[in-house]
Amino acid sequence: MTTKTKGPDKRRGKALAGRSAARLAAVQALYQMDIAGTGIDSVLDEYETYRLGQEIDGEQYAPADAAHFRAVVSGVVTDQVAIDRTVNAILADNWPLARIDSILRALLRAATFELKGLPDIPSRVVINEYLDIAGAFFDAEEKSLANGVLDRAARQIRAGDATLAPDRETGD
């Protein structure tokens, strides 16, 4: 009896794509909550019913991991004070989180939540995924800011994480 080897597991690829779509949707939902003052229950219901994996204005949205979407949005809302404290400690004194663009603020909160609340996801994955989202909304300057903040947040939250590149300043 011979056994054929298969290529990469397609389910794993779909799961990763589902989390990517969930992260984008989470940033959008957090932005909506911040700007419009929409409550979490309304936003979760709206996205899960009408947005995740749906066609909107002729654009087909990728199927999203609804559980991951819910975990990120709920986690940010629950832990927002601690998340904001972490991000504010990293930002320059004259640029508190409240002064940052609303989309970038939502992105930093979502990514920081994942670093704090979902330790099974490697830091590099979290950072790279959110930098991809930043690149869809911003130019290089804002993406660079996001990279710096998330890298420092990961080093503080997950000290010793082997998925992080060595710090240029300390070599750690």
**51: its two tokens:** 């947005």
Q: Which residues fall within 8 angstroms of residue 54, CB to CB, at 6 or more apart? A: 60, 61
pLDDT computed for residue 9 by the predictor: 38
Q: How far is CA 149 from CA 3, 17, 107, in A?
A: 48, 24, 11
Q: How far apart are CA 6 and CA 132, in angstroms?
A: 29
Quickly list H helices, the chain. Answer: 10-36, 40-46, 66-90, 102-117, 123-137, 140-157
Residue 56, beta-bridge partner list: 59
Q: Name the pTM for this structure.
A: 0.84
Residue 106 dihedral angles phi and psi, to the nearest 5°: -60, -40
* Complete DSSP assignment for 92-141: -TTS-GGGS-HHHHHHHHHHHHHHHH-TTS-HHHHHHHHHHHHHHHS-HH
Q: How far apart are CA 63 and CA 99, in angstroms?
A: 33
More confident: 51 or 28: 28
What is the residue extent of each domain of the chain? 13-157
pLDDT computed for residue 24 by the predictor: 95
pLDDT digits (tens, 9 = 90+) for 30-69: 999 999 999 999 999 999 988 887 766 677 667 899 999 9
Tell me what percent of the residues of the chain surpass a pLDDT of 70.
80
Question: Residues 6, 116: contact at Cβ < 8 Å?
Answer: no
Fold of 13-157: N-utilizing Substance Protein B Homolog; Chain A (1.10.940)
Give the number of residues written for the chain: 172
* Residue 12 confidence (pLDDT) above 50: no
Tell me the chain's radius of gyration from C-alpha atoms.
17
